[in-house]
Amino acid sequence: MRNSLAASTVILFAGVAFLATEEGRAAQRGRRSGEGFVSEGVPKMPKPPGLAPKRDLSGAWVGPQNNKPDPVPPMTPAGEAQFKLRKPYGAATGQGGDQASAKGEPPSSNDPFITCDPLGFPRDLLAHAVSSRGGMLFGSAPNRILIAYEQQRTWREIWMDGRALPKAVDVKGAPESRYYGHSVGHWENDNTLVIDTTGVDERPWLDEAGHPRSSSALIQERYTRPDEYNLQLTVTVDDPKFYTKPWTWMRANFYWMKAQEFAETFCIPSEALQYRDTLAKPSGIEIR
């Protein structure tokens, strides 16, 4: 079902509302937990997990759950300069600290997703939709693995044919940068898929707080499937242009989706603009 203005508003900003309490989020989203659930909003499969199939992640997964990333490392001067330009929506609403109000300025945000610009990679992995439990679907095509995301109905190509990543982007003789980057993958063993991505467009944010990532960053995903129903994901970011050292950006779990059908979770530009003009601005929040 296509989202209404109210639903789109929640989808746009519920992910940023991760700054509220977990109890508040659970109540707001009506998630169920307890018997029959592995965690809030994640139905448990009816039988114990079997062995993981070899070199196969196909199917739909829900997550991230229990995300435990490393702290963001110190940024380089170039990274700090970019970060200072970013004004997250959570800060503009007073959640997680309102830097603008502290300076006597009106609260504002320039998060590009407010007006439905692409989330980009790896921010889409945060799955900040109504449930904060996004669907991720693995499929295949010749010489590649396809990953589709419930959030924005976006998909990625992971080339498995041994090609090299581009050494540069956006220069003569090189490919263009992309919102979701250029990705290649390989199986490290029978249950671990490793994906390396570079050449990301620099406009999308790395996370909800507005940390940057450069087009030369190397972002690595490691998907390990220990059994039939569980998938462990570690994402590391190595971006010497903007950060002083690599770090683990995500360390989380995904679970096999009992219902393999995705809902439509779109950010609708016309409704985002309506939200901006009829709700955000009248409430004193400036969307830039």
List pLDDT tens digits, range 173-219.
999 999 999 999 999 999 999 999 999 999 999 999 999 999 999 99
Classify residue 14: in a domain, yes or no. yes
Classify residue 206: in a domain, yes or no. yes
Question: Looking at the predicted structure, is the pLDDT value of residue 247 above 60?
Answer: yes
Classify residue 261: in a domain, yes or no. yes
State whether residue 201 is helix, strand or coil. coil
**CA gap 36, 48 in Å, rounded:** 12
**Could you tell me where the DSSP H helices lie in the chain?**
5-14, 22-29, 77-84, 89-92, 99-102, 269-275
Q: What are phi and psi of 14, to 5 degrees?
A: -65, -30
More reliable by pLDDT, 265 or 73: 73
Q: What angle do CA 103, 71, 68 make, to 5 degrees?
A: 120
Give the pLDDT score at 21.
34
Question: Please, which residues have CB within 8 angstroms of residue 206's CB and are 6 or more apart in sequence?
Answer: 122, 123, 212, 213, 237, 249
Question: Looking at the predicted structure, is the pLDDT value of residue 13 above 60?
Answer: no
**CA gap 166, 246 in Å, rounded:** 20
More reliable by pLDDT, 285 or 136: 136
Give the pLDDT score at 279.
78
The distance from CA 250 to its chain's CA centroid, rounded to whole angstroms, is 10
Mean pLDDT, rounded, for 33-56: 88
Task: Kindly state the tokens that stand for 59.
Answer: 């199917």
Classify residue 153: in a domain, yes or no. yes
Give the pLDDT score at 189.
96
**CA gap 129, 8 in Å, rounded:** 9
DSSP conformation letters of 79-133: HHHHHHT---HHHHTTTT--HHHHTTPPPEE--GGGGT----TTGGGG--SSSS-
More reliable by pLDDT, 113 or 177: 177
Classify residue 15: in a domain, yes or no. yes
Quote the pTM value. Answer: 0.84
Classify residue 183: in a domain, yes or no. yes
Per the structure, the count of domains in the chain is 1
Question: Looking at the predicted structure, is the pLDDT value of residue 10 above 50?
Answer: no
Beta-ladder partners of 109: 287
More reliable by pLDDT, 92 or 23: 92
Give the pLDDT score at 38.
86
Question: Looking at the predicted structure, is the pLDDT value of residue 81 above 90?
Answer: yes
Task: Kindly state the tokens that stand for 218.
Answer: 């190397």
Task: Kindly state the tokens that stand for 47.
Answer: 């039988």
Task: Kindly state the tokens that stand for 33.
Answer: 């937990």
**CA gap 191, 144 in Å, rounded:** 17
- The kind and range of the H/E element at 229 are none
Mean pLDDT, rounded, for 121-132: 75
Mean pLDDT, rounded, for 161-171: 97
Question: Looking at the predicted structure, is the pLDDT value of residue 22 above 50?
Answer: no
More reliable by pLDDT, 148 or 36: 148
Classify residue 190: in a domain, yes or no. yes
Give the pLDDT score at 167.
95
Give the pLDDT score at 91.
63
Q: Which domain holds residue 175?
A: 5-46+57-287
Classify residue 167: in a domain, yes or no. yes
Which amino acid is located at 115 in the chain? Answer: T
Give the pLDDT score at 128.
61
